[in-house]
Amino acid sequence: ARPILAIVGRPNVGKSTIFNRIIGDRLAIVEDKPGVTRDRLYGIGEWLDREFSVIDTGGIEVEGEDQIMKSVRVQAELAIEEADVIIFMVDAKAGVTSADQEVAQLLFRSRKPVVLAVNKVDNIQRQDEIYEFYSLGFGDPIGISGAHGIGIGDMLEAAAAHF
Ligand code: GDP
Ligand code: MG
């Protein structure tokens, strides 16, 4: 069986952008989980000739802060169940938010391996924006940019160490 990598994080950090970068031109499969969430996207990625499954957990559309936190929580829990390694994605432009801190607590308790990816580090000048994310407690944050295709290899290398 392929190892499973799940991308977890609050809405709008860039999970789907990275998911699409990872799967490339391979098609994603949508799975509905009745009563829990919808639009879980499954795809296949490849790292150094090894295939892995990748899950984009962020397909749900919600309004209002309570709803957002609820869906983030549910998605994180599902990912924790299924994944061999989790990409915890945050947003360099937004900085650390309370939603990020809540996701961090869930991931801590899971004891699954977590790679902390700071998205929207679009150029080298922004690299110093990753440091505040050390406070989330998952070690070295990896700066990436889904928009510009920066750092994706470093992120996958760190994740593949847990395959
Ligand atoms: P998701 O809700 O976590 O799946 O986030 P999306 O992938 O839908 O992206 C949310 C927004 O962030 C979109 O407007 C993207 O175009 C934008 N975005 C994604 N990646 C980057 C990036 O690396 N840099 C910048 N500046 N914007 C990005
Ligand atoms: Mg999305």
Q: Are 75 and 91 in contact (CB under 8 A)?
A: no
For 136, phi and psi rounded to 5 degrees?
Answer: -75, -15
40: left (phi over 0), alpha (psi -120 to 50) or beta: beta
Ligand nearest to the CA of 146: 1
Q: Are 114 and 138 in contact (CB under 8 A)?
A: yes
Collect residues with CB below 5 Å from ion ligand 2.
15-16, 58
* Architecture of the domain whose range is 4-160: 3-Layer(aba) Sandwich (3.40)
Cα-to-centroid distance, 123 and ligand 1 (Å)? 15
Q: Would you tell me how many other CB atoms lie within 10 Å of the CB of residue 7?
A: 27
Give ligand 1 pocket residues (Cβ under 6 A): 9, 11-17, 58, 119-120, 122, 145-147
pLDDT tier at 33, thresholds 50, 70, 90: low
pLDDT tens digits for 69-124? 777 777 778 778 889 999 999 999 999 999 899 889 989 988 899 999 999 999 98
Q: Which helix H or strand E contains 148, and what residues bound it? A: none
